[in-house]
Amino acid sequence: MMSAINNIRPATPVTVAITFLRMDHPPKYTLLDLPEGYVLEKLSFIPIPLYRYIYGTVGRECCWWMRRVLSDQYLEQLFSDPFVEVYVLKDPKDIISGFFELDCRLKSNVNIAYFGLMPHLVGKGMGTAFFHQVLRYAWGKHPRCLRINTCNLDHPRALKLYKKAGFEQFKVETELWNIPDVLNLPIPKKFLKK
């Protein structure tokens, strides 16, 4: 799939370092609760326009692009799998404030495929408590391990958050991404292929 979506033209080539992490046992520390009034809701049915809105808004500043170029049909098929789960974080006014996606298809491990907050909450101290809830839900699946990855285009505090939570880095890969220009994403100049 990567080769197909990496060939949309015109595109801006970006060299990306992807860090892969794993956690082999549940945290031994006390997980933080969400602030009062915030709740998590599992989406039993995922309207594709809603998913595209959440994914696009949460990931815009971090150049999340891969799901944006997939067809509605592909996304519908993905989310029809009972082992792919999407949860939304809602604020006290029932407004979506973030989301995470668990990929449990391998059963022996759970991949935290996506995790993020809406831009108005980034840097407000909500990330750690929200991520602790992700850990609670993911370990509730009783996997052998959890996996997550991040790249140097993600939020600069993402890797630190994951390591502080107990994830250990096991691999770093460099990839060339051709980010489609039609997406009009704010690619930082320092990441542009020279």
Residue 89 domain boundaries: 2-28+37-176
State residue 88 phi and psi, 5-degree precision.
-115, 145
What phi and psi values does residue 111 have, to the nearest 5 degrees?
A: -100, 125
Q: Is residue 181 part of a domain?
A: no
How far apart are alpha carbons 64 and 60 in whole angstroms? 6
pLDDT per residue as tens digits for the range 62-101: 999 999 999 999 999 999 999 999 999 999 999 999 999 9
Query: Are the beta carbons of 115 and 159 closer than 8 angstroms?
Result: no
- Give the separation between CA 82 and CA 103, rounded to whole angstroms: 9
- The mean predicted confidence, pLDDT, of the chain is 94
Strands (E), the chain: 11-23, 39-42, 84-90, 96-103, 109-117, 145-151, 168-180
| Any domain includes 139 | yes
Q: Phi and psi (nearest 5°) for 86?
A: -120, 130
Predicted structure pTM score: 0.93
Q: What is the pLDDT of residues 10-54, one digit of tens each?
A: 999 999 999 999 999 999 999 999 999 999 999 999 999 999 999
Q: Where are the alpha helices (DSSP H) in the chain?
A: 2-5, 48-59, 72-79, 127-139, 158-165
Domain assignment present for residue 172? The answer is yes
Say which CATH number the domain at 140 has.
3.40.630.30
Question: How many structural domains does the chain have?
Answer: 1
